[in-house]
Every structure is written in C-alpha cells, then in structure tokens.
Amino acid sequence: MEHLSYKIWDEWSSFPIIPPVEDEIAGILDGSHSRRAGSEYEFTSGRIFALRRLLKLWADSEYQNVETIRIIYGEQQKSRLSFSLNAELAEKIFDRISTSSRKKRNWNWVRGMWGSCGSLYVPKTGYHLVLRPPIRNGSAERLQSILKSAGFSIGIRKKSQMRELMLRDQQQIVTFLSRMGFVKTVLALEETAIYRSMRSHANKLVNCDSANINKTLEAAERQMKLIREMEEAGILEELPDELRELVIARKKNPSISLKELGQNLPRPISKSTVEYRWRKCENILHKLLKGDGAHVFGKGRR
C-alpha cells in the first residue's frame, strides 16, 4: 500500500479547485512562515507541492492578473524555498478570513492551512494528525475555534512561534479528512485501520495459543518430575489403580494437555478430575517423605 503521507499530499495537490479559491490561497499563506521585508512579505516553506498548489489556485483567482508572486532563487536552504508577495496584497489576503469570522467553518481555508502546516502520522501504533499554524494574525486561534465548533476534541500545545493542534482519535481524523474532501486518503486510512485490527487480533490469538502451550508444557514437566520422584521413592506400585493409570498415561504422552490426558485414560475423566488426582499423588509423596527420614528427594529407598 502506498504510504499515507504521500497519498494525502498527492490528493491535496490534485484536488479540484472549489470557489472561492481566494479562501484556500489565504489558508496556504496563513499557515506559512512569513516576515515583512520592506514593501514585500517573504514566505518560506519546505513543501514545494504547497507552492505548486498556490500557483494553480492563483491562476484561477481574482489575483491572476497581478504578477506579484516572486520566487526567490538562490536562497533555498535545507530543501526550503522562498517566495515573496507585494505587502499590500499580502495584507489584503491575510484580512480575507478575519478574526470576526472564527465561528464560520470555512473548509476551503482549512484545506489551505492543512497544505501549508498540517501533517498526518501513522506510526506502528495509533494515529495522530497535527497542524502547526503560526501565531501571527490570529490564524492559530481561528483554526482552533473552527475545529472546536465542528465538534473535534483537539490537543493544544503552545510554542514560541506556533501552536500545535492535534487529533489522536482515528475516527475524528477520518471525519476531518472527509470534511476537506480527501476521499482516497480516508479509504486508505480506514483500510490501514482494518488491517491493524486484524493483525492485532491475530497476534492476540497467537500469544494466547503460545501461552496455553507453555502452560501445558510446564504442567507436563512438573508431572514428569513428580513421576520420577515417586519412582525413586518406590511407591508407584503402591498407588491406587486410578492414580497408577494416570501416571502410565502421562509417561506414554509426556507433552499432551491435562484435558487430552484425561481422555487417554481407560475410563476418560475431565480436566478438573485429572488435576485432583495429580494433587493426590503429590500429597501421597509428601506424606511419605515427611514421615520417613530415609526418603529424600532424588534418592530411592535403602
């Protein structure tokens, strides 16, 4: 299966353009790191696909005739790229989604924010989705308000220049991605969840079987040890018929379970009866050794 982190960015990059495109443009810029530099705002990002999406939206926007996106060549560092916008236009875009509209669930804007500062993580266990919007212009508070008003239980962690908003519940992550229209990613995530559930169930069955096998072998080992001690004490022939039959059956079948052992007797008995009879054997040996100093573990009669 294609890794989800690649799938979601492919889907976002090729997502249909939904009017008003200016809202998604605002989201991309609001989620990007920027600084005022004279008559321009400079933006930096490590996501080249976010710039490609921005240019695609720009060509369909009311800004298309304003050739103000300037790629800053020669200043890319550590896989990051930079571009600039005319300061007046940038501030117009920043003001498009104002703080007064926090309760309006503008998913076009959220989709843009996701593209510039969101991430989906699928480690070996669990899931978590994180958005790290910069604090400037109130975009972090605005995004937080939208998510809360939509019923999402979000974790919040404040940092110096950004705020981390986290979703850790798999179903809420699916709902969030659905709200943004990422159908392919949702299906892939649910497929991953089903696979994980099946694998977890299979592992539990294997672990349970392994634990049962270990218990069976440990019980059989204890009983074989008891048989050896009774042989050394010379009391096997003195045992009642029902106990002697049990000992003979165990010697012939040194690794079967107690239930199977009970079914291998001339007159089959239940597992609990098998356990009871082994306890009787232990008591007989214990009383004999306790009452006769000549009998000690590991040594026969003299």
- Residue 111's alpha-carbon distances to 17, 27, 118, 160, in angstroms, are 11, 7, 9, 24
Q: pLDDT for 13-67, tens place per residue? A: 999 999 999 999 999 999 998 889 888 999 988 888 999 999 999 989 988 766 6
Q: What is the per-residue pLDDT for 214? A: 84
Best CA proximity match to 2, nearest among 191, 174, 170, 198: 191
What is the C-alpha end-to-end distance of the chain, expressed in Å?
A: 72
80: confidence class by pLDDT, cuts 50, 70, 90: confident
CA–CA distance, 247 with 250 (Å, rounded to integer): 5
CA 70 to CA 40: how far, in whole Å?
Answer: 10
Query: In the numeric block, which tokens belong to residue 87?
Result: 């300061």
pLDDT band at 104 (very low <50, low <70, confident <90, very high): confident
Q: What is the CA radius of gyration of the chain?
A: 36
16-21 — which CB contacts under 8 Å span 24+ positions? 17/56, 17/57, 17/60, 18/108, 18/181, 20/108, 21/57, 21/60, 21/61, 21/108
Mean pLDDT of the chain, nearest integer: 85
The arithmetic mean of pLDDT across residues 183-194, rounded, is 88
pLDDT one-digit tens code per residue, 270-287: 999 999 999 999 999 888
Q: What percent of the chain has pLDDT over 90?
A: 42
Sketch the domain layout of the chain as residue ranges: 8-181, 210-291
Per-residue pLDDT of 228-248, as tens digits, reads 999 888 888 889 999 999 999
Instruction: Quote the tokens at residue 103.
Output: 């309760």
d(CA 152, CA 150): 6
Domain 8-181: CATH superfamily is: Homing endonucleases (3.10.28.10)
pLDDT above 70 as % of the chain: 90
CB under 8 Å to 216, separation ≥6 — which residues? 255, 256, 257, 258
Mean pLDDT of 258-265: 91
**Given this model, what pLDDT does residue 101 score?**
54
pLDDT tens across 156-185, in order? 998 878 899 999 999 999 999 999 999 999
